[in-house]
Structure 1
Amino acid sequence: MPTARLEHVNISVTDADRTATLLEKLTGWHRRWEGPAMNGGHTIHLGNETGYLAIYSNPSVSGGFVKGVPMNHIGIAVEDLDAAEALIVAEGLKPFSHSQYEPGPRSFYFFDRDGIEFEVVSYE
């Protein structure tokens, strides 16, 4: 059976630069590529050498996405959960659903300005 890895996920947002800047601060990822995209849009590939989040926007993206349509959330693992939460609060966003579950990571969730839900976890 072949082994696979997730190479990228592509999301639509109202402001690609705003979303990328928030996630750069949260994750330490870098902009692997950015430029013009289909339908008069702009895309930023934010990640590391093995994977990335493609952050796409165009004038018709309106935001206000509904949880679970079609995606529930994006999970991001960080080294320092408390520092990540402080950053999210400083950005004016509201963490919620703090928990710890097997195999042991602590986590919290937040919605970005477009209604996309993120889960932030730490295995430390």
Structure 2
Amino acid sequence: MMRLEHLNLVVRDIPKALEFYRAIFPHWQVRGGGKSTWHGVERNWVHFGDDYQYLTFNDDGDADNRDLTGHQVGMAHFAFVTDDLDGVIARLAQIGRDIDKPGAEDPFRRNVYFIDPDGYEVEFVEYLTDIPTLRNRYD
């Protein structure tokens, strides 16, 4: 078996990143952190997650993220599956974050996209069935 353990994100401001992701994952916590040097630049870092998966935030970001409407090489978005999409939307609304774009209409899943404080597009998907052929339709 293989699973994704963590994403390592370069951000400008760790507290702003934590505010956004704490709204999504209220049960997660800062697992650890410290200071390091990356190619000659000092930075702070934290691991935010649970015992099995986490996000790393490094605060040495010094430029804008890629233009999500463009065609540059880079991350387009990453996604999390949730059993409570309405709860995620409500918690992000409480910190002033609106849906950036809705997902496609589909009888077997709901999804929305948000932009985090550093310009990463984050998708949230709630599947409405456990049947893989219905969850993963491509027509």
TM-score computed with the length of structure 1 as normaliser: 0.81
Q: Report deviation, 1:82.
A: 1.0
Cα RMSD for the two superposed structures: 2.1
The reply on whether 1:61 has 2:51 as its aligned counterpart is no
Q: Is the 8 A contact 1:97 1:108 kept in 2?
A: yes
Runs of 4+ in 1 over 6 A off after TM superposition: none
Which stretch of structure 1 is more off in the superposition, 61-70 or 36-45?
Answer: 61-70
User: For residue 116 of structure 1, what is the aligned residue in structure 2?
Assistant: 120
Matched, 1:73 2:73: no
Residue 36 of structure 2 is matched in structure 1 by 37
Q: 1:52 to 1:18 in 2, by over 3 A?
A: same
Identity %, equivalent residues: 27
Larger radius of gyration: 2
Contact conserved, 2:64 with 2:119, CA < 8 A, in 1? yes
CA contact (8 A) 2:31 2:47 kept: yes
Gaps of 5+ in 2: 129-139
Gaps of 5+ in 1: none
Could you tell me how far 1:97 is from its partner in structure 2?
A: 1.9
1:43 deviates by 1.0
- Please report the TM-score for the alignment, with normalisation by the length of structure 2: 0.74
